[in-house]
Structure 1
Amino acid sequence: MGKQAFEASLATGRHRQLAQMVGDWEGRFRLWFSPDALACEAPQRGRIRSVLGGRFLIHEYETRYNDEPVEGVVIYGYHLDEGNWESAWVESFGTGTSIMFSTGSGRAPCADVLGSYGDGQGGPRWGWRTTLDQRDPDTLVITMFNITPQGEEMRAVETRYTRVSR
C-alpha cells in the first residue's frame, strides 16, 4: 500500500466510507436459528472507532441473548493492495474461542465479507456472510447470514443501529 493510495482512499474511497461509521450507536439485535422463527430480540449498544490512522475500524458491542450478556469485537478494514474488505470477529456467544476471519470483494458497494466455521462435530464447514450497510449518516444495518454446506443462505443476525454521537 502506497501512502498516496491510502491518502486518496481516506479522502474519497473505501477508507472514507469506513470513517463515516465512527461513533456511538444504539439499536436492536435480532437473532434467528431458523428462517421463520425469531429466537431473540434485544437492545444493542456499540462503539465504532478508527484506529491506526484510519486504516481500520474497531466495533465493540454489547447485547443480550435471553438473560445472558453478549460482548463482541470486530475489526473491519479495506485491503487496498488486494481490493478486498476484511474482518476479524470474536464474540462471547457466536464465535466461542475462535476468531472468524472474513474477506470479500471490494466491488460490493458496502462491506460484504465471507468467513466460515465448523459444526463442532467434524462435519463440513458452514459459511458466515456479514454485510454493513450505512444507508445514511445516522443509520447502520449489520446483517449476518448462515450458509449451509450445500450453499443455502439464510439471515441469522440483524443489528439496526441509530447513531448516538460521532
Structure 2
Amino acid sequence: MTESERQASAATHASAGGDPHRRLARMAGEWEGLYRLWFEPDMLASESTQRGSLRQVLGGRFLLHEYTWDFDGRSYAGLALYGFHIDEARWECAWVDSFHCGSSIMFAQADADATTQHPLSHFSVLGSYGDGQTPPGPRWGWRTEIEQPDDDHLVITMTNITPDGVEAKAVEVRYARKI
C-alpha cells in the first residue's frame, strides 16, 4: 500500500468513527409513527401516520431519512441527509419535502457550542427559508431537533422561527421502530 493509499484509508476510517456516527447508526431502521402539523401556534392542523426509513450511507458517515405522510387527502414525501462534520465539530442536514420545501433544498447546521451541549441522544440543526414574496422579505428560521430516548423510539420536532425570533412548533413526528 502506498503512502497516499494509507492516508486515504486512515481518513476514511476516521470520518466514520466516534460517538456522533455511532449515534446515527443507532437510528438506522424502519420506523412508523404519528405525524402532527401546525400552521398557527398551538392550533393543531393535522395528524397522520408517517412511515420512514433511516439508513446509513457512504460507509456510515451519513444517515438518509426517507419518509411519507398524508395531509388533506394527499400523500407527501421527503428526505433528509444527516451528518456530523468532524472538522467543524457540528451536525449538518440537507432536507427536501414535497409539501414543506417546494423546489428548494434547506441546508441546516448546528454551531459547535450547541453540538457539545446536548446529550448523546439529541441533536439540533438550524436552517432558514425565504418568505416566497417578490421581492424577497426577511428569511425565516427552521430548527430540526432529533431525540432518541431509547433504541425503539425517535422524536423529530421542527420549529418555525419568524424573522423577529418568535418560535412555534410546526411539525412533530413520534416514531416507533418497526419490528
1:92 and 1:6, CA in 2 relative to 1: closer, same or farther beyond 3 A? same
Q: For the structure 1 residues 66 and 82, does the alpha-carbon distance in structure 2 shift closer, same or farther, using more than 3 Å as the test?
A: same
- Counterpart of 1:128 in structure 2 is 142
Residue identity in the other structure for 1:35:
P
Q: Is the 8 A contact 2:83 2:91 kept in 1?
A: yes
Q: TM-score, normalised by structure 2?
A: 0.87
The equivalent residue for 1:152 is 166
| Separation (CA, whole Å) in 1 of partners of 2:125 and 2:16 | 23
Separation of aligned partners in 2, 1:29 and 1:74: 16
Q: Distance in 1 between matches of 2:99 and 2:149?
A: 27
Aligned amino acid, residue 173 of structure 2: T
Number of aligned residue pairs: 162
Whole-Å Cα distance in 1 between the matches of residues 125 and 100 of structure 2? 16
Indicate the percent of aligned positions where both proteins have the same amino acid.
55
Q: Which runs of 5+ in 2 are unaligned?
A: 1-9
Whole-angstrom distance in 1 between the partners of 2:71 and 2:15: 39
Aligned-pair distance for 1:36?
Answer: 1.9
* Runs of 5+ consecutive residues of structure 1 not aligned to the other structure: none
**Aligned positions of 1:17-96 closer than 5 A:** 17-96=23-102
What amino acid is aligned across from residue 35 of structure 2 in structure 1? F
1:146-165 superposed Cα distances (whole Å, 9 cap, x missing partner): 00000111110000000004
Amino acid at match of 2:99: F
Cα root mean square deviation, aligned: 1.3
Could you tell me which amino acid in structure 1 is paired with residue 45 of structure 2? A
Residues 102-153 of structure 1: per-residue CA shift (max 9 Å, x gap) = 0003213322000000110111100000000000000000000000000111
SS of corresponding position for 2:178:
strand
Max radius of gyration: which structure? 2
Correspondence for 2:123: 111
**1 or 2, which has the higher strand percentage?**
1
Instruction: Give the match's secondary structure for 2:110.
Output: strand
Please report the TM-score for the alignment, with normalisation by the length of structure 1: 0.93
8 Å CA contact 2:20–2:84 kept in 1: the answer is yes
Q: Does 1:6 align with 2:18?
A: no
